[in-house]
Amino acid sequence: MKLPIPVAVCGALGRMGQRVVDAVFHHERLELVGAAERPDCPDIGQDAGFLAGLGAIDVPVMGDFAKAMARAKVYIDFTTPEAVMANLRVAQTMGLAAVIGTTGLDSAQQDFLAQAARRIPIVWSPNMSLGVNLMFKLAQLMAKSLGPDFDIEIIEAHHRMKKDAPSGTALRLHEVVSLARGLDQSSMVSGRNGLVGARRDDEIGVLAVRGGDIVGDHTVLFAGPGERLELVHRASSRDTFAAGAVRAAVWIFDKKPGLYSLSDVLGL
């Protein structure tokens, strides 16, 4: 019988963090050994399981990343771009494997992520849903197969508290369909207003909707002459993303340094 993989969770008391704590705790191949939060969190010292609704599990929430990671081999990070960078600096020195689900990383932060991946294995995905990562593959296939006669529009919707727009998933969808069409970043049009003129042939619209408690909806619309296709994914629970994160944690445990995606985890 294989020994369990020791895992710690960063941002353990956030909306996603609590679902990841629950998913790690209940996964047969993983052992929850650490929980990290920002140093000024009022619940530092409290039991992470109790705060996540699991009851006491003897894993205290810590405000020091290194101390929270002391027993871990893999950590899962759903925090902020700034916290991700700070955590990675320490993770490299500790030789930890990382699963990162944080979105909104700018180009400099993505460059740092790639540099860190030369020393440790990292899975980074703008969306940890298994279905969404299959959607990336299908969107690429549809964009290539349907060709330029079909206009492409991407619509995403999230809860009113989401800070970045468009979502990381929408940006990734734009990337994959653009590459399939031989286009670049300049093809993206984020919203339209006023007399914008006729749609360009090389234009891909990306619209962000914010409201209520929407977990995450993404639609890729292919509009052609006389017909329309829609590729749609709707997340109804954050457990969807937690499930992808724990699957990535199991997969990356024994991998060599490198920057991986959830598509690598799924073998797509």
Q: Residue 104: what pLDDT?
A: 83
Nearest-5° Cα angle at 66, 128 to 106: 45
Mean local confidence (pLDDT), 98-124: 95
Token readout for 173 is 């969808």
Which two structure tokens, joined as six digits, stand for 77?
Answer: 């990070």
What angle do helix axes 107-116 and 81-94 make, rounded to 10 degrees?
Answer: 10
What mean pLDDT do residues 206-233 have? 96
Contact of 26 with 50, CB cutoff 8 Å = no
Using 50, 70 and 90 to split pLDDT, how confident is the model at 197? very high
**What rounded mean pLDDT belongs to the chain?**
94
Task: Tell me what pLDDT residue 218 has.
Answer: 97
Locate the DSSP E strands across 101-215.
121-124, 151-158, 188-189, 204-210
Catalytic option among 67, 137, 144, 162: 162
pLDDT in tens, 19-44: 999 999 999 999 999 999 999 999 99
Q: What percent of the chain has pLDDT over 90?
A: 83
> Which pLDDT value is given to residue 208?
96
Assign a CATH topology to domain 130-235: Dihydrodipicolinate Reductase; domain 2 (3.30.360)
Q: Which tokens go with 83?
A: 């916290």
Angle at alpha carbon of residue 96, lines to 93 and 102, rounded to 5°? 105
pLDDT for 94: 97
Residue 85 predicted with pLDDT over 70: yes
Alpha carbons 251 and 232: distance in angstroms, whole number? 27
pLDDT score of 9 more than 70: yes
Q: Using CA atoms, how far apart are residues 105 and 216, in angstroms rounded to an integer?
A: 18
Q: Which residues of 134-152 are buried (b: 16+ CB within 10 A; e: fewer)?
A: ebbeebbebbeebeeebbb
The stretch 89-95 carries a mean pLDDT of: 97
Q: Which of 27, 158, 218, 233 is catalytic?
A: 158
Q: Which CATH architecture has domain 5-124+238-266?
A: 3-Layer(aba) Sandwich (3.40)
Residue 1 has pLDDT above 80, yes or no: no
- Determine contact, residues 38/50, Cβ cutoff 8 Å: no
pLDDT bracket for residue 261 (50, 70, 90): very high
Largest CA distance in the chain: 66
Catalytic status, residue 162: yes
Using CA atoms, how far apart are residues 222 and 205, in angstroms rounded to an integer?
11
Any idea where the domains of the chain sit in the sequence? 5-124+238-266, 130-235
Active site (annotated) includes residue 26: no
The answer, yes or no, to whether residue 248 has pLDDT greater than 70, is: yes
Query: Residue 104 — φ and ψ, nearest 5°?
Result: 85, 15
Relative to beta strand 74-77, strand 5-10 is parallel
**What average pLDDT does this structure show over 214-243?**
95
The predicted pLDDT at position 151 comes to 97
